[in-house]
């Protein structure tokens, strides 16, 4: 068996085992037009995949050139991206189809429309040379306090979520793009965001939301992503990503999943702060993962994870059979999806499906209001999540596209007392002055999670009982007009209602 040794970056292993270990890695990187040298060396040694982010995107032609460059280095390299729709996507600058978030699709509850939205996203990916999408979200929004799933889920009912998962997976597969149901065995029953800390779902086994994942497996989903969540009913010690009981016994044994199991990003604090990324990579593969993701564009983190896996193989701490099994699953996935099936001239998709869905999703606790021309719009929402893309969408911009006489403000993040920073009271005072003599629209996004929004909203509604409340997250009490998401088309659909343009 040939030995592999080029530079001092890991123990010397047989060439086939070294390549197998590299197939089990997915790496993020910096760059729009060139590939970093470290990444080139990893690809040459068998790197299984790369994950693209907004940092890798300038426009569609540039992305096509980048994916061509990557595949010229290794034709079976998987090129993946998070592409959920709504506010979760990284291809705005590349002309991504506009679709609402999953919750709005669940509100409409028309699987054919969900399939049309998924088809549009997958068709666009294929045209760019991206053939793996880390979507859809299979989580059920089971806890009102959950800070990370929310409108990314199709809903709070497992049967509804399963219906729309099947539609999404089938449409994506028909395009020749690999879909990925996430985050197994569910992140919707937590009150912690695993990007920031270890999350725990305390429910007993029979209350866990496994049905959508069973539906995804039955639908033939080729990829599943694990959750950095502890489930005491399954494994009281380790998060799912590192748990043999959850990944091997439950997912493989009981659910019968035969595709590629990929970890959520290892640099998330649920893993990084307790285990470290390198140990996380070794433990995840030992537990049953087939690929581990390092999304940050830090080659040292990627190399540390790779070296930990190589060292564990060399010492026998990580079984060769486990890594070769994982690498074989990745190889089969690559044979099926790594190369785009068709030329870049892919079949057209329904570019209007997303706006149609967003329009149909708009709801209100009362009859939808009449138009409010010349309104003052205050849009309150939390600062963008650092791990999720946000294109800067705001409701005022969408309203002004139909009614240039509208004015207002967007407030992103809690206003506090201090030099140069507005307090809640100052914001309320400024809004009331600006809205004098005008209709007032007050939009919030998940005010239950962000009490400052509730304080601003309640003060404004107390001073202006005629004000129209709007919710751009999950429904708020008080008869608000609901968009069920902050994707651009969600906001546009609400803006059409507010300006009398609704069709």
Question: Cα separation of 18 and 10, whole Å?
Answer: 10
Instruction: Count CB neighbours of 147 within 10 A.
Output: 18
Give me the half-sphere count of Cα atoms (radius 13 Å) on the Cβ side of residue 153: 29
- E-strand stretches of 69-157: 78-81, 132-133
Question: Cα separation of 293 and 282, whole Å?
Answer: 12
**What's the Cα-to-Cα distance from 26 to each of 248, 276, 281, 297, 303, rounded to whole Å?**
20, 17, 11, 11, 11
SS3 letters across 413-439: CCCCCCCCCCCHHHHHHHHHHHCCCCC
* Contacts of residue 155, Cβ cutoff 8 Å, sequence gap at least 6: 103, 106, 107, 140, 141, 161, 164
Does 264 qualify as catalytic in the annotation? yes
Question: Cα separation of 119 and 352, whole Å?
Answer: 12
**What's the Cα-to-Cα distance from 482 to each of 328, 344, 360, 395, 477, rounded to whole Å?**
46, 38, 11, 12, 10
Pair of tokens at residue 494: 């609400």
C-beta separation of 142 from 189 below 8 A:
yes
Radius of gyration (C-alpha) of the chain in whole angstroms: 23
Pair of tokens at residue 229: 């969540």
Which is catalytic among the residues 82, 264, 394, 446? 264
Q: Is 18 helix (H, G, I), strand (E, B) or coil?
A: helix
Question: Cα separation of 313 and 322, whole Å?
Answer: 10
Pair of tokens at residue 246: 């959850």
For the chain, counts of helices (H) and of strands (E): 17, 19
Does 68 qualify as catalytic in the annotation? no
Question: Cα separation of 155 and 419, whole Å?
Answer: 42
Pair of tokens at residue 278: 């390198």
Which is catalytic among the residues 195, 201, 228, 379? 195
Instruction: Count CB neighbours of 112 within 10 A.
Output: 9
Question: Cα separation of 392 and 31, whole Å?
Answer: 22
Phi, psi of 86 (to 5 degrees): 65, -135
Question: Cα separation of 93 and 348, whole Å?
Answer: 19
Q: What length is written for the chain?
A: 503
Place of tokens 């029979």: 206
Residues annotated as catalytic (active site), given as ranges: 195, 264
């Amino acid at each position: 068996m040939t030995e592999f040794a080029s530079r001092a970056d890991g123990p010397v292993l047989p060439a086939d085992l070294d390549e197998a270990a590299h197939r089990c890695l997915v790496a993020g990187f910096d760059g729009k037009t060139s590939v970093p040298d470290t990444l080139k060396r990893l690809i040459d040694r068998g790197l299984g995949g790369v994950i693209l982010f907004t940092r890798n995107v300038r426009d569609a032609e540039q992305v096509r050139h980048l994916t061509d460059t990557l595949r010229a280095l290794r034709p079976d390299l998987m090129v993946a991206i998070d592409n959920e729709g709504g506010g979760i996507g990284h291809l705005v600058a590349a002309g991504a189809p506009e679709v609402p978030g999953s919750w709005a699709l669940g509100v409409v509850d028309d699987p054919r429309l969900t399939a049309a939205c998924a088809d549009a996203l997958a068709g666009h990916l294929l045209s760019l040379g991206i053939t793996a999408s880390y979507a859809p979200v299979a989580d059920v929004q089971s806890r009102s306090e959950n800070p990370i799933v929310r409108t990314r889920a199709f809903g709070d009912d497992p049967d509804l979520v399963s219906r729309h998962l099947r539609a999404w997976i089938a449409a994506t597969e028909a395009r020749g793009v690999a879909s990925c149901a996430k985050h197994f065995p569910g992140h919707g029953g937590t009150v912690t965001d695993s990007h920031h800390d270890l999350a725990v779902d305390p429910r007993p086994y029979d209350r866990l939301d496994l049905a959508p994942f069973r539906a995804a497996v039955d639908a033939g989903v080729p990829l599943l992503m694990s959750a950095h969540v502890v489930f005491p009913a399954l494994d009281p010690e380790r998060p799912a990503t590192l748990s043999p009981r959850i990944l091997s016994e439950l997912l493989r044994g009981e659910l019968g999943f035969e595709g590629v199991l990929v970890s959520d990003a290892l640099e998330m604090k649920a893993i990084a702060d307790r285990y470290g990324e390198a140990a996380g990579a070794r433990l995840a593969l030992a537990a049953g993962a087939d690929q581990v993701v390092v999304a940050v564009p830090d080659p040292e983190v990627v190399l540390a994870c790779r070296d930990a896996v190589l060292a564990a193989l060399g010492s026998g701490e990580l079984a060769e059979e486990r890594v070769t099994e994982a690498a074989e699953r990745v190889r089969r996935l690559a044979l099926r999806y790594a190369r785009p099936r068709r030329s870049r001239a892919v079949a057209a998709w329904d570019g209007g499906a997303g706006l149609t869905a967003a329009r149909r999703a708009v709801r209100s606790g009362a009859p939808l209001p009449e138009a409010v021309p010349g309104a003052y719009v205050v849009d309150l929402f939390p600062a963008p999540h650092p791990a999720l893309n946000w294109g800067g969408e705001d409701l005022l911009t969408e309203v002004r596209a139909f009614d240039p006489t509208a004015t207002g403000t967007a407030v992103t993040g809690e206003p506090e007392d201090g030099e140069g920073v507005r307090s809640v009271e100052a914001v309320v005072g400024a809004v009331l002055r600006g809205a004098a003599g005008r209709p007032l629209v007050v939009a919030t996004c998940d005010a239950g999670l962000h009490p400052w929004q509730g304080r601003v909203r309640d003060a404004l509604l107390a001073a202006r009982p005629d004000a129209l409340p709007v919710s751009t997250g999950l429904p708020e009490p008080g008869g608000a007009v609901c968009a069920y998401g902050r994707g651009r088309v969600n906001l546009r659909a609400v803006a059409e209602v507010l300006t009398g343009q609704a069709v």
